[in-house]
Homo-oligomer: A and B are copies of this chain.
Amino acid sequence: MAKEVVIIGGGIGGIYVLRNLLAKKGEVKEGMHLTLIKREKSGWVSVCGLPYALRGWYEIDRTEINKPQFFLDQGVDFRTETEVVQISVEESMVTLDTSEVLRYDYLVIATGRKPSVPAVVGEAKLEGVYTFNNEDDARKIEAAMNAEGVKNAFVRGRGINGLQAAVAFATKGLQTTLLGGPPSLLPSCLDPDMGDMLKEWLEKQGIRFILERKLLTALKGDGGRLKSVVVGDEEIPADIAVIAVGADPNTELASNAGIDTGEYGGIVTDKGMHVQRSGCSINNVCALGDCVEVIDGVTHCSRLSQYASTVVVQAKVIADNILGEVTARPGLYASYEPCISPSVADIGGLLVGSVGVTSEAAAMAGIKTVSGKATKLTKARYFPGAKPLTLKLIFDAYTTKLIGAQMVGESTVAERVNELAVAIYAGITAKELRNMERCYDPSLSLLIDVTIDAAELALGITPVY
């Protein structure tokens, strides 16, 4: 009898488990029947592509990579605009909002996250105020920012979604103000000195930042439409506002089923991404993505890692394990390693990358650090496209192993993040990184790369400029 796999959630987590299983479906002799249940109307949407749509690079429609029909055509029971209302782990069944009950051999929970909204926002009940979490939000924001007479925009939140919304507004020519806490931007990825470089870049694009311990105390409207916001004792005109103060793991369904959650509110899993009940793994129920907690690769503590890049690795582990069990090939068994969350983003033309821990996260975990920061061109100055890049490397002060890296620049950032992710994973020391050979061609790189300078500065060595 065909194995029943039920996936709850059609974000990148659910879709990637589905895609992995579809690619290997032929290997399952008894067959595999795949069901995906999602609340939205869409098929597979690249949520990460939405900020660029708002910046005008392409239509929002372009971010729907596959329509539901694409999956239906492959025999998937792909159910849109449907919700699971209950999971019964004991009976291996889920109940839908249509009252239909589905039996499963394997259940995958990919319920994502739900944006936090401060009480003052909810109470105001004004048009023109949005969260920025999915394609529906993007469509509403796009319509609102393009409406006639819209001149002033306000963003609450200095994380990636808040910044991308602010960039979209500034690109559109709106007078944009962003309110976040101190000390600087993107604090989960960047130390304040690096965050300030991003801030200066964006200020040149006309964005005003209020990075203080000030509250958004009121939203004022006129005829039900937002007209201004009050920050501390300042009233700021605002025709449109995006509230992006973070997103909590969406775990209600799992919690109601008795599945464990952790200190950051995410579902707790074992290394095979199986969920747990009172600390015991449930072998036919997995969870992944924004709704789960990961183990940090440096501190070995729990945390969230709400990146698409995190979830695709988890999806592979889950698919491997389902296939390994179904085909009785334990050789396939995979485990999800501690996470170092390499990340990159184009924020208004500045590429911002990070991996591993920030100085603050290290300090919170009791790790003493030494760091080195350097700025250099990415190739010889007489070649086209030579642009400065600032790199900060953070090492454990005792072992001198690399534990974090941050950078801002106009090119090579994504690839450098990946290189330093391998270095952190492998426990490369400052001295090793400094003396490691790097490929050279003057049209593509420097003979002494900024990485060497940053490592030398961390070691107290004078770089050869």
Q: Which residues of A contact B (CB under 8 A)?
A: 12, 16, 19-20, 23-24, 46, 48-49, 52, 57-58, 62, 307-310, 312-313, 316-317, 334, 336-337, 339-346, 351, 353, 355, 380, 382-383, 412-419, 421-423, 425-428, 431-432, 434-445, 447-448, 462-465
Partner of A416 from B62, B415, B434 at Cβ < 8 Å: B415
CB proximity of A48 to chain B, nearest CB, Å? 5
CB proximity of A455 to chain B, nearest CB, Å? 11
Partner of A464 from B20, B57, B419, B462 at Cβ < 8 Å: B20
Q: Which residues of B contact A340 (CB under 8 A)?
A: 437
A448 to B316 CA separation, bound complex (whole angstroms):
11
Q: Is the CB of A439 within 8 A of B422?
A: no
Q: Is the CB of A438 within 8 A of B464?
A: no
Partner of A380 from B49, B307, B434 at Cβ < 8 Å: B49
Q: Known interface pairs A23-B464, A355-B439. Does A444 touch B344 (Cβ–Cβ under 8 Å)?
A: yes
Q: Is the CB of B351 within 8 A of A313?
A: no
Copies in the complex: 2
Partner of A382 from B58, B337, B428 at Cβ < 8 Å: B58
Partner of A442 from B49, B417, B436 at Cβ < 8 Å: B49
**Most interface-central of A62, A339, A419, A423 (chain B CB within 10 A):** A419
Q: Which residues of B contact A344 (CB under 8 A)?
A: 439-441, 444-445
Q: Which residues of B contact A355 (CB under 8 A)?
A: 439
CB proximity of A51 to chain B, nearest CB, Å? 9
Q: Is the CB of B426 within 8 A of A414?
A: no
Q: Is the CB of A46 within 8 A of B418?
A: no
CB proximity of A361 to chain B, nearest CB, Å? 17
Q: Can you show 7 pairs from A to B with CB atoms below 8 A apart?
A: A52-B383, A62-B382, A308-B447, A310-B437, A343-B439, A353-B439, A414-B441
- Besides A312-B448, A416-B418, 6 other A-B contacts (C-beta < 8 A): A309-B439, A309-B440, A412-B415, A413-B444, A415-B418, A426-B427
Q: Is the CB of B428 within 8 A of A309?
A: no
A445 to B345 CA separation, bound complex (whole angstroms):
10
Partner of A426 from B334, B428, B435 at Cβ < 8 Å: B428
**Most interface-central of A308, A434, A436 (chain B CB within 10 A):** A436
User: Closest chain B residue to A412 by CB distance?
Assistant: B415
CB proximity of A422 to chain B, nearest CB, Å? 5
A341 to B353 CA separation, bound complex (whole angstroms):
27
Q: Known interface pairs A24-B462, A435-B337, A464-B20. Does A380 touch B46 (Cβ–Cβ under 8 Å)?
A: yes
Q: Is the CB of B422 within 8 A of A423?
A: yes
Which 5 pairs show the lowest CB-CB distances between chains A and B?
A415-B415, A426-B426, A419-B419, A342-B439, A309-B440
User: Closest chain B residue to A351 by CB distance?
Assistant: B444
User: Closest chain B residue to A347 by CB distance?
Assistant: B441
Q: Known interface pairs A48-B441, A380-B49, A439-B343. Does A422 touch B415 (Cβ–Cβ under 8 Å)?
A: no
A82 to B313 CA separation, bound complex (whole angstroms):
60
Q: Which residues of B contact A439 (CB under 8 A)?
A: 309, 342-344, 353, 355, 414, 417-418, 421
A462 to B426 CA separation, bound complex (whole angstroms):
26
A416 to B438 CA separation, bound complex (whole angstroms):
10
Q: Which residues of B contact A436 (CB under 8 A)?
A: 313, 421-422, 425
Q: Which residues of B contact A308 (CB under 8 A)?
A: 440, 447
Q: Which residues of B contact A382 (CB under 8 A)?
A: 49, 58, 62
Q: Is the CB of A418 within 8 A of B417?
A: no
Q: Is the CB of B313 within 8 A of A464?
A: no
User: Closest chain B residue to A427 by CB distance?
Assistant: B426
